[in-house]
A and B are shown apart, each in its own frame.
Chain A
Amino acid sequence: MAGTIAIKNGYVYDPLNEVNGEKMDIFIRNGKVVTELTASELKDAKEIDASGKTVMPGGVDSHSHVAGAKVNGGRMMRPEDHYKFYQKKTPIAHSGCGYSVPSVYLGGYEYSKMGYTTVFEAAVPPMEARHTHEEMRSTPMLDMGGYLVLGNNWFLMRYLKEGDIEKAAAYIAWMMKTHKTYGIKCVNPAGVENWGWGENVGALDQANIHFEVTPEDIIKGLTELNEMLGFPMPVHLHANNLGHPGCWEITRDSLKIPKPVKARPNTNVEWAETKMKPQRHESVYLTHCQFNAFGGTSWRDFESGVKGITDYVNSHDHVVMDSGCVPFGDATVMTGDGPAIHDLYVLTGHKWSNTDVECECGSGVLPFTYLKSNPVHSVQWAMGLETLLYVKDAWKSIMTTDSPNGGPFIKYPQVIAWLMSNKARQDTFAECHKWAQDRSGLAAETREMDLNEIAIVTRANAARTIGLAHSKGTLAVGADGDVAIYDLDPKALEVSDYESIIRAFENAAYTVKGGEVVSQKGEIVAIPEKKTYYSDIAISAEDEKNMLNDVKDWFKYYTIGFNNYPTPDKYLANPTPIKIDAEV
């Protein structure tokens, strides 16, 4: 029977279900986790002996740049990223190439080999949604979705300035359906619009040109609207001033803005039977904290400012964040924050690209290499790990590299090793610039994450944060049958032998998706069906009609016609709307 499998005798880590390394069996029938299989079902089912192995829910990456115009821009401008990192085709898998910006096929395969089954694209500019969906549709092995970039949107800035909240809510709901996207991304609020005039914003109360809204207005407005509409995930915030020494303060102050906003996710779905409450309670999801946590005042006195942010996160419950770790080596920096890319160009002189997405947002791409010999890069390496190790409650953090900004996602096993093994960190300190020790607190940090915490920061909390714990990030009954089985015996684990941790997480012994073994020890063995999630928010027809009159009127500022703006369903692989009953 397809999608039916028994995984026996593994050590299971399912944090959302409060299972911490217990030896138990996992049963999946027709792609969903069940309590047991009948004798006749067992006879036909595939059985995996997972004894002596680590069993986790399939990995969930809640922030990765894997599809769309900006990723493709990275591919086009980086032939040197491609010709030494490639994979030949197999009878079932396509060929592919690209180290930090892999082709869609290779990207899907590489994620699957590491045990990941769900990946969300971190930034979808509305006008590029169709392109993003075309690439997501062609990315095998993964269930996907994307966050719509709305932090510098002309329509929203105007509605926020005029205080027209009903129309703003109607606009966001309509945009999510129109572009088949899942949540709200807010990149350098008010600043990217100023970049159209060669400027940026430097403070939360600085109004931008023409629209005269401040970053504070936008963060406050979007986080309130997000909860008014009942989105599955909090507003995903890329704070102002990113990548500038001293930016940690504006990041912390940005996190204070949504403190009074109460989380009200209102998704109408069937929830897996997790022991923990699977709904989020946070009103803001800060992304790539490391890049937003620079200390000092210049590159000369640059230091880690992570503690200023993690202290705030530790004492407040409305914030969750991902790390944006820097594992050294080649990366491609790509972001909706156009001015930040220009600053990097001035710093490095590398080739770069910048785009103004009319009326909506911007973006930029630049190749980057993080060197152990470089003082600033070494501190950034330490900072990425600080963002995860300083947060006392693992349920407030998610492990990412902001792939490919800090480094490609294929470096996750290396990051896991640093988190689990102090020796791994000390060995890297010995190889990298001494600023890593002098300008951060990581050298004194002795915390070593256990496998349960790793399961939280690599799947359970990523799924919970973006409101997908009804089916992802857990092995509770009713969840999707996505499982990662790693060749790592928790009873015999010596974290000082961190190479064994890297090896185990690099190539899962088995990756199971929807109850089917899809990759095995680094080899793709089946191409599963995939889903594309988006938020389908019900709002009043009246509000939508009023709002659309404005949108049609303002569409004269676009170079495309209104009828060509939406992304039709056919661009999505198995479109999976998440129904939301809005309160407006």
Chain B
Amino acid sequence: MAEVTLKPTGNFDLTVEAETITPDNFAGKTAEEIGKILVWQGPEEYPLANYFDVKGDGGSSAEDTTIVVDGDVPRVKRIGEGMTAGKILIKGSTGMHVGAEMAGGEIVVEGDAGSWAGMEMKGGLLHIKGNTHDHLGSAYRGSWNGMTGGRIVVGGDAINQVGGGMSGGEIIIEGNVKHFCGIRINGGLIVVKGNAHRTVGAEMTGGTIVVGGNIERFTPGFELEDVEADIKFEDIACTGEYKKFTGDYAIPQKGKGTLYVSCANNECL
């Protein structure tokens, strides 16, 4: 496995659009060639070497290539966009759109990630060990087709619109979320182990959402079906007792999504 290390050196005054940082793009290139790959910054294009110290050559294929971003790059966007194989390890925080539209391979972010992480993702694994912002695994502006496959794991919190428009794959969040978690989903699985504020599962027509903590304001339009204990989705286990709801019946399409809410943390429901 070939390893390419990108050590951030500066010039991040404007954010950098780095959708070219993928194993697919680095494979078959030498460190010098990788340093010459162009990225947009504002209205201009500059080589990667303008921002990073590049060490190591790419592998013979994307599968064979690992990219290590050795530091914080919160002002670098779109790392790993559309990647199909290989691995990216970011040893710090990163900007928006990390792993957007990725179809395979693995991205590990050791710090935090910006909004739109895993946007419209199709496959692979995106592991964010810290927190992330809005639109995790969701559809982009205007679209209603979110994540369709793969898995996103967040060690900390996410904020709004987690998995918006999702139709497949899994999102697992160890921490809390705010508003509109799982809005308009029609498939896939979202597990939030912490709390959610409001509008969980709004307009959902399919798929499954599990909230292990408390939902401060429960979404109208859901009907209680049952109480289940220790639910399991293949390798994802959720312990404890859960109230099982279906919905969202507040829309004309009369959705058939499933929403599990922890009994212990939602006594008033």
Q: Which residues of A contact B (CB under 8 A)?
A: 77-81, 83, 345-346, 348-351
Contacts and interface: CB of A to CB of B under 8 A. Distances in A.
Contact of A80 (B142, B203, B251): B142
Contacts of A80: 139-143
B239 interface: no
B42 interface: no
A552 to B, nearest CB: 43
A345 B141 CA distance: 19
Contact of A349 (B139, B140, B141, B253): B253
Contacts of B139: 80
A83 B267 CA distance: 46
Contacts of B140: 80, 83
B10 interface: no
Contacts of A351: 144
Contacts, number: 23
Contact of B252 (A77, A78, A79, A346): A346
B142 A349 contact: no
Interface in B220-269: 251-253
Contacts of B143: 80
B84 interface: no
Most buried by A among B140, B203, B205: B140
Given A346-B252, A349-B251, A349-B252, A81 B142 contact: yes
Closest 10 CB pairs of A and B: A80-B142, A80-B143, A79-B142, A346-B252, A349-B253, A79-B141, A78-B142, A349-B251, A80-B140, A80-B141
Interface string B120-147: 0000000000000000000111111000
Counting chain A CB atoms within 10 Å of each CB, the highest count among B203, B205, B253 belongs to B253
Interface string B143-182: 1100000000000000000000000000000000000000
A350 B144 contact: yes
Contact of B203 (A79, A81, A345, A349): A349
B112 to A, nearest CB: 26
Nearest to A79: B142
B188 to A, nearest CB: 17
Binding site secondary structure of chain A: helix
Contacts of A77: 142
A345 B252 CA distance: 9
A240 B45 CA distance: 55
A351 B140 CA distance: 14
Given A79-B142, A80-B141, 6 more contacts: A77-B142, A79-B141, A80-B139, A80-B140, A81-B142, A349-B205
Contacts of A349: 203, 205, 251-253
Nearest to B252: A346
A38 B175 CA distance: 83
A79 B144 CA distance: 11
A103 to B, nearest CB: 15
A370 to B, nearest CB: 15
A83 B120 CA distance: 14
B131 to A, nearest CB: 27
Nearest to B184: A349
B256 to A, nearest CB: 13
Contacts of A78: 142
A346 B252 CA distance: 6
A125 to B, nearest CB: 25
A98 to B, nearest CB: 12
A369 to B, nearest CB: 9
Contacts of B203: 349
Contacts of B142: 77-81
A454 to B, nearest CB: 35
10 contacts: A79-B142, A80-B139, A80-B140, A83-B140, A83-B141, A346-B252, A348-B253, A349-B251, A349-B253, A350-B144
A332 B140 CA distance: 18
Nearest to A78: B142
Nearest to A351: B144
Interface string B41-78: 00000000000000000000000000000000000000
A561 B243 CA distance: 60
A81 B143 CA distance: 8
A323 to B, nearest CB: 29
Contacts of B141: 79-80, 83
A350 B252 CA distance: 11
B67 to A, nearest CB: 25
A83 B253 CA distance: 29
Contacts of B251: 349
A357 B142 CA distance: 25
A340 to B, nearest CB: 15
A27 B148 CA distance: 56
Contacts of B252: 345-346, 349
A393 B144 CA distance: 43
Contacts of A83: 140-141
A478 to B, nearest CB: 48
A414 B165 CA distance: 31
Interface in B172-231: 203, 205
A366 to B, nearest CB: 12
A351 B165 CA distance: 13
Q: Of residues A77, A78, A81, A349, which shows the largest number of chain B Cβ atoms within 10 Å of its Cβ?
A: A349
A137 B203 CA distance: 41
Nearest to A76: B142
Interface centre among B140, B142, B143, B205 (most CB of A within 10 A): B142
A83 B139 CA distance: 13
A251 B143 CA distance: 35
A80 B230 CA distance: 40
A80 B141 CA distance: 6
A237 B55 CA distance: 68
Contacts of A350: 144
Nearest to A77: B142
B1 to A, nearest CB: 33
A78 B144 CA distance: 11
A86 to B, nearest CB: 15
A358 B215 CA distance: 44
A184 B100 CA distance: 48
A79 B139 CA distance: 12
Contacts of A346: 252-253
B103 to A, nearest CB: 16
A81 B140 CA distance: 11
A350 B139 CA distance: 14
A350 B205 CA distance: 12
B252 to A, nearest CB: 4
A87 B8 CA distance: 34
A78 B143 CA distance: 8
B163 to A, nearest CB: 17
B17 to A, nearest CB: 13
B182 to A, nearest CB: 15
B84 to A, nearest CB: 18
B58 to A, nearest CB: 27
A349 B252 CA distance: 7
A28 to B, nearest CB: 43
A453 to B, nearest CB: 39
A289 B4 CA distance: 60
A123 B205 CA distance: 35
